[in-house]
Amino acid sequence: MNHRHRKVLHALFDHPISNNIDFKDVESLLKELGAEIDNKAGNRVGVKIGNHAATFHHAQHDLHKDEVVKVKHFLVDCGVDPSQYPV
């Protein structure tokens, strides 16, 4: 995982919740983690890592705070720990 991916991963887990995380960066991070990404109707994106699946809103630019929380919880469910990837 490169430095940019690690930076995005840590931004997703930061407190307070960041609202300036670009969706394209999150999508790139998810692909790096082995996710299968599928475009769905209604500006939605399906993501699957292993046996875990989720659907997220495809933001044109930055993710809203509620989407950041959804991505964070999805990553936790998938067993992703940002401490495994130091910045």
* Domain segments of the chain as ranges: 3-81
Mean pLDDT over residues 30-49, rounded? 93
pTM over 0.85: yes
The owner of tokens 């936790």 is 76
Residue 59 — very low, low, confident or very high, per pLDDT cuts 50/70/90? confident
Are the CB atoms for 87 and 7 separated by under 8 Å?
yes
Residue 29 — very low, low, confident or very high, per pLDDT cuts 50/70/90? very high
pLDDT at 87: 80
Share of the chain above pLDDT 70, in %: 100
Measure the CA–CA gap between 51 and 69, rounded to whole angstroms: 20
Mean pLDDT over residues 52-59, rounded? 91
Cite the beta strand spans of 1-87 per DSSP E. Answer: 36-40, 44-49, 52-57
